[in-house]
Amino acid sequence: MAEEGKEPKVKLGFIYNHCNDVEAMRKFYTDLIGLKEFAFHNDEQWGWLCYKTGGLELMFFRTEDMIPVQEQWAVQPGWEGGTFEGTSWSIEVPGESFSSVVKRLLSAGIKCFKDKPMWLQDSYWGFPVMDPMGNTVEVYSTPKEKPASTEWQD
């Protein structure tokens, strides 16, 4: 039990995810979204992929048993349309890179919630997509100022 007035310092360090194909996850997160890869290994015995993201490590481990790929969009605050109550996450992309990330995702044939980013919560551009495991990933960017038009123009 913590001493009164002194809460223990708790730090979330790792999120572990399982996947069927670490190479496909690598292409999605490294090549298309642009996350900086921290570690990658893929051989017959073991496969993993890791990203350090602001003090939290997002990790993917290849599973021996095939996992069903999620086909429904997860419910997320900020936008309507998801029906699956499961884990999902958001990845912030700098404003100057957001348009090119969206174009790469569209060109790669990634499953997208809409065909263009949406202006959400009157504060940011959101572009929900599914990674190779069907995880809902909201790629987003928060501009310094509200745009003149909230209809995506790029």
- What is the pLDDT averaged over residues 118-128? 96
Phi, psi of 100 (to 5 degrees): -70, -35
Q: Which of 49, 64, 79 is the last residue of a domain?
A: 64
- What is the pLDDT averaged over residues 130-137? 97
150 falls within a domain: yes
SS3 content of the chain, % helix, strand, coil (to 5): 15, 35, 50
Q: Answer whether 0.85 is exceeded by the pTM.
A: yes
Residue 23 has pLDDT above 60, yes or no: yes
CATH classification of the domain holding 32: 3.10.180.10
Same domain, 100 and 54: no
Which structural domain range is residue 119 located in?
Answer: 71-154
If you average pLDDT over each of 3-7, 17-21, 74-78, which comes out highest?
Answer: 17-21
* Count of structural domains within the chain: 2
Q: How far is CA 68 from CA 28, 63, 129, 141, in A?
A: 18, 11, 17, 30
Same domain, 94 and 55: no
Average pLDDT, the chain: 94
* pLDDT tens-digit readout, 56-87: 999 999 998 999 999 999 999 888 889 999 99
CA dihedral 18, 20, 23, 25 (to 10 degrees): -50
Which pLDDT value is given to residue 90?
95
Which pLDDT value is given to residue 130?
98
7 falls within a domain: no
Which pLDDT value is given to residue 1?
56
